[in-house]
């Protein structure tokens, strides 16, 4: 999965270089943008400087560099990548006893086994967001987007868009076909979701690749309805665009999540690795994160922002099922990826 903080060409050019060499005892491998000091100010307060950051363009690239010998202390990935990273042996479990906010983390972002203490914590969620129906309120009514079946509506043929991202696409398709937990889908449920994605393919104007592109498509009127991350309607509204973000669609809504993995044999300080992730989960980091388009995985920190702020940023309460994009097996993700590529190719 491509992370939600997308900075285009700058990210691609900067992936191999530190943003600035600071604390040599901690190397954070990350997406460009997350070096923002306000995201980890408690770490700076404690140690007098930020960690050293090295950037990558996407998680496949990051994985290949790490298995080829590059070493970091912590790495920022999204949930879909976790099974492959864990199976490779390049990450080790976090000690939950060293994470003060662990008991306050959103259980829906962790999985029941971890919360129950029956599984080790290999993935520490720190930031998340929602994916839901975004629409042009001048051209589309609230009633027309009350259901995810809007993507099958021939009245909007050629004016629809979904992400060019297998996780987001299948989250939509599972919800649309009655599944709100993708952790253990049957063959029949997978086939139903795949058939649904294939059915909407001809209705789509395009598969969007980053929020800026989708913002332009909606701003120009080419796209009227999209399956989009919460940062998109916020940005459009800031520009005065007539936009709605419908999370309470009949079938449900989705949340994506990202966080940090603890690298095995990291070259730096293990203590500072914990200091860094604890800083991200600190209540002081919640406001800067949401201003960047991300919700804190720490429910206490997140709720400190107030219901109005959360609603304005697309992270308010919902009354419908929520599909959390938790890690799934390599086999399931590969099956979905292969089917999605065939669908996009017209098969």
Q: What is the pLDDT of residues 186-231, one digit of tens each?
A: 999 999 999 999 999 999 999 999 899 999 999 999 999 999 999 9
8 A C-beta contact, residue 185 and residue 335: no
For residues 337 and 217, state if they share a domain. Answer: yes
The crossing angle, in degrees rounded to 10, of helices 330-344 and 187-200 is: 20
Burial class, 96, CB count within 10 angstroms (exposed 0-12 / middle 13-18 / buried 19+): middle
Q: 282 phi and psi, to 5 degrees?
A: -70, 150
- 235 and 218 fall within a common domain: yes
Write the pLDDT tens digit of every residue in 97-130: 999 999 999 887 876 566 556 678 999 999 999 9
Phi, psi dihedrals of residue 255, rounded to the nearest 5°:
-125, 140
Answer yes or no: is 2 within a domain.
no
Same domain? 242 vs 263: no
Same domain, 110 and 156: no
Instruction: Identify the residue whose tokens are 């919640």.
Output: 286
Give the count of domains, the chain: 2
pLDDT of residue 80: 85
With respect to residue 250, please indicate whether it lies within any of the assigned structural domains.
yes
Burial bucket for residue 141 (CB in 10 Å: 0-12, 13-18, 19+): exposed
Residues 115 and 55 in one domain: yes
In a domain, 79, yes or no: yes
The answer as to whether 157 is a domain residue is yes
**Interhelix angle 270-280/283-291, nearest 10 degrees:** 60
CATH code for position 158: 3.40.190.10
pLDDT computed for residue 187 by the predictor: 97
On whether both 175 and 272 belong to a single domain, the answer is no
Rounded Cα–Cα distance for residues 170 and 290 (Å): 26
Task: With beta carbons less than 8 A apart as the criterion, state whether 127 and 36 touch.
Answer: no
User: Mean pLDDT score of the chain, rounded to an integer?
Assistant: 91
Run of H or E residues at 171 = helix 166-176
Q: Is residue 339 part of a domain?
A: yes
- Give yes or no: residues 94 and 43 share one domain: yes
pLDDT of residue 254: 96
Q: Taken in order 41, 42, 47, 52, is the CA torsion positive or negative? A: negative
Please tell me whether residues 179 and 210 are part of one structural domain: yes
| pLDDT in the model for residue 62 | 94
CA distance linking residue 74 with residue 179, whole number of Å? 33
Would strands 51-55 and 124-136 be described as parallel, antiparallel, or unpaired? unpaired
The whole domain housing 305 covers: 9-128+257-312
Task: Tell me, yes or no, whether 116 and 145 share the same domain.
Answer: no
Name the pairing type of β-strands 295-296 and 124-136: antiparallel
My answer on whether 73 and 156 are in the same domain is no
Tally Cβ neighbours within 10 Å of residue 45: 11
Residues 224 and 133 in one domain: yes
Q: Note the pLDDT of residue 112.
A: 59
Contact 27/266 with Cβ under 8 angstroms? yes
Contact 80, 39 (CB under 8 A): no
Residue 11: predicted pLDDT:
37
What distance in Å separates the CA atoms of residue 227 and residue 212, rounded to the nearest whole number? Answer: 14
Q: Supply the pLDDT for residue 23.
A: 80
The verdict on residue 332 lying in a domain is yes
pLDDT recorded at residue 321: 94
Q: How far is residue 250's CA from residue 1's CA, in Å, rounded to a whole number?
A: 26
Answer yes or no: are the C-beta atoms of 60 and 165 closer than 8 Å.
Answer: no
Residue 196 covered by a domain: yes
* 283 part of a folded domain: yes
Collect the ranges in the chain with pLDDT lower than 50.
Answer: 1-21
Query: For residue 14, which of 59, 68, 54 has the smallest C-alpha distance?
Result: 54
Residue 108 and residue 19 in one domain: yes
């Amino acid at each position: 999965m491509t992370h939600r903080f997308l900075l285009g060409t700058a990210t691609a050019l900067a992936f191999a270089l530190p943003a600035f060499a600071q604390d040599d005892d901690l190397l954070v491998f990350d997406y460009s943008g997350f070096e923002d000091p306000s995201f980890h100010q408690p770490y700076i307060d404690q140690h007098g400087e930020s960690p050293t950051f090295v950037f990558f363009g996407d998680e496949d690239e990051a994985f290949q560099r790490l298995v080829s010998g590059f070493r970091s202390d912590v790495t920022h990935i999204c949930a879909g990548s976790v099974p492959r990273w864990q199976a490779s042996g390049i990450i080790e479990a976090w000690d939950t006893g060293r994470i003060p906010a662990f008991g306050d983390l959103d259980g829906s972002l962790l999985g029941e086994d971890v919360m129950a203490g029956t599984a080790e914590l290999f993935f520490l969620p720190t930031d998340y967001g929602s994916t839901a129906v975004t629409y042009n309120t001048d051209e589309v009514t609230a009633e027309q987007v009350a259901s995810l079946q809007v993507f099958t509506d021939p009245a909007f043929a050629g004016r629809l868009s979904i992400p060019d991202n297998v996780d987001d696409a299948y989250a939509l398709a599972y919800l649309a076909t009655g599944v709100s937990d993708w952790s253990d889908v049957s063959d029949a449920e997978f086939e139903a979701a795949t058939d649904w994605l294939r059915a909407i393919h001809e209705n789509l104007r395009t598969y969007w690749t980053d929020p800026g592109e989708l913002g332009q498509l909606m701003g120009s009127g080419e796209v009227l309805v999209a399956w989009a991350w919460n940062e998109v309607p916020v940005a459009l509204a800031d520009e005065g665009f007539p936009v709605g973000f419908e999370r309470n669609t009949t079938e449900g809504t989705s949340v994506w999540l990202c966080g940090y993995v603890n690298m095995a044999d990291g070259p730096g300080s293990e203590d500072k690795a914990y200091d860094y992730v604890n800083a991200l989960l600190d209540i002081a980091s919640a406001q800067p994160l949401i201003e960047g388009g991300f919700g804190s995985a720490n429910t206490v920190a997140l709720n400190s922002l107030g219901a109005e702020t959360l609603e304005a940023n697309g992270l308010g309460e919902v009354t419908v099922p929520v599909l959390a994009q938790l890690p799934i097996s390599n086999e399931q993700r590969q099956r979905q990826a292969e089917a999605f590529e065939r669908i996009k190719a017209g098969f």
